[in-house]
Structures are given as C-alpha cells and as structure tokens.
Amino acid sequence: MNWTAILIAAVCGGAFAGSGVLLANWLGRPQFRSAIVAVATVIGIGVASQINDRLPVKMNIDAFSLSDLADEVPFYRVLIDRDPASALILETGLKDDFQSGNFTINEITDRTRNRLGVILTNKTIVAPASLQREYADIAIEMFEHFKRTKPNLCRKMAMGEPIGDLSPYLPQSYAETEGAMMVRVIETPSVVGASGDVVRGKGIAGDVFVAWADTAEVDMQSPNFSETLSDIQWCDISLALSYAKLSASDQDRRDLFAFEADTANPS
C-alpha cells in the first residue's frame, strides 16, 4: 500500500466523512480512534479492501504530490485547480501521518478521508441551498440503500468503526452521482456572507435525535443506548438527520453542516 492507493481509497466516502458519527459526538460518547465513515465508491473500486491494517508504519514520502493523481482522479484535479490550499492540507497531513510512525495504514487512510470530508463539508456550509439539498438527497439515497441491503453499515458508521470497501454494497450509479456532486461542491461559488455555527448546529442535530427517539420510544439517556438499537434503527437515525437537512431553513442547514465538518475533523 502506497500513498497513491491511500488517496484513492480516501475519496471513497469523502463527501460524508462526518455525517455518520454526529450522534456519538452529540452524546459525548467515546468513539473509535479513527472515527470515519466510508460512504461511497467514487473511484478505485476494490482498493479499500486491499488495505492491510496490522502495525503502525513510518516512512518518508516527501517526493509525493497530489498533482500526480490529477489525471486519474477528476476530483483531485478540480481541488488542485480551485482550492490549492486544501490540496496542500491533504498532502501535508498524509506526509505527517506517515512520518510520525503512530498510525497503521488503515488509520492513515481514515484520517485522510476525514480531512477530505472537512474540506467538502466546509464548502457545503457556504454553498447555494440547492446544492446543500442535493447533498442531503444523496445521503438519503445511500442510507435507504443500506437499510434495504446492509443495515449493519449504518451502525458501524454511527459508532465510527472502519468499514473498508463498500463497492459490493453500493451501485455504480450512486458512486457516479456522489462523485459528480463532490466536484460541483468545489467548483460552485460560495454564497456571499454565508456561514455556519457549530454549537447551534449541534443543538439542531440534538433536537432531531431527541424527536426521533421519542417517536421510536427509545431512551437516549440509557448507559446502554448504543447497544440496544437495532441496525435498522441506526439507519433510521441517519435518515432522520438527512431529511431534517432537506426541510431545514437555509441557516439551520448551514449550521448542521458546520457541526458535521467539526465532527469529521481528525485529531
């Protein structure tokens, strides 16, 4: 596994790197060390499943540049052209993770995906409302598909567990739709004066979670809350938040995306 494969694997799920762990963040519950969500298979089908996660690795990759992947991965080409500062964040973060010797290959991949998720979600905070709603629609399509075919993935996302290659579980049409949306997020001009509030977004997300729990007759304050939910219920929680983004006011939606970006940020 080299840096090229890691960057290809990281694109898989980059658009939704924070959405799955919002509930754990809101509850203040501990998450896994590399809390990530692998949510789509935009490119590099099968790459993620080839990653071997055994021991921390340490190596110098100063020679690598994100531009080396520009021809192979359209999203990276657009990111380099439109947002070179964010492209540099991905490069620097990957180099630092490799050189630290503190992370396994899987963890480095997860952290790279999270950085990508922060970049995309921060762009979405200030994107036009129509693009934000498209973002939510694609998330709904994904969670509905998992609910029908592989609901345990919803639980893994919410608990921040590494998932790996999702190509067996998502249709190619979805991958293409999400990939195109990621490009539009980078290319679309920001709304002048738009911003999002992380704290307010956390409160809005909390209202959504509490309303869902009341309807489902679930005690969210129970110490064993996460263990009592079924896989289908984890999907339903994720769907509730995505539908809330569709119906929210423009400012509430921006605040929710701000909370999501803050959640995805790797520590």
Domain that holds residue 93: 3-264
57: which strand partners?
Answer: 103
Q: Say how far apart CA 9 and CA 140 lie, in whole Å.
A: 22
The pLDDT value recorded for residue 5 is 65
Tokens of 22: 């919002």
Cα(109)–Cα(43) distance, rounded to whole angstroms?
A: 15
Q: Please tell me the total count of domains within the chain.
A: 1
Please check whether residue 34 is in contact with residue 108, taking contact to mean a CB–CB distance below 8 angstroms: no
SS3 for 57?
A: strand
- Give CA 76 to chain center in angstroms: 16
- This prediction has a pTM of 0.77
Structure tokens at 12: 């898989």
**Mind listing the pLDDT tens digit for each residue in 16-56?**
555 555 555 555 544 433 332 332 223 332 333 344 455 66
Kindly report, residue by residue over 45-99, the tens digit of the pLDDT.
233 334 445 566 666 667 677 787 777 778 888 999 999 999 999 888 888 888 8
- Joined tokens for residue 92: 């620097």
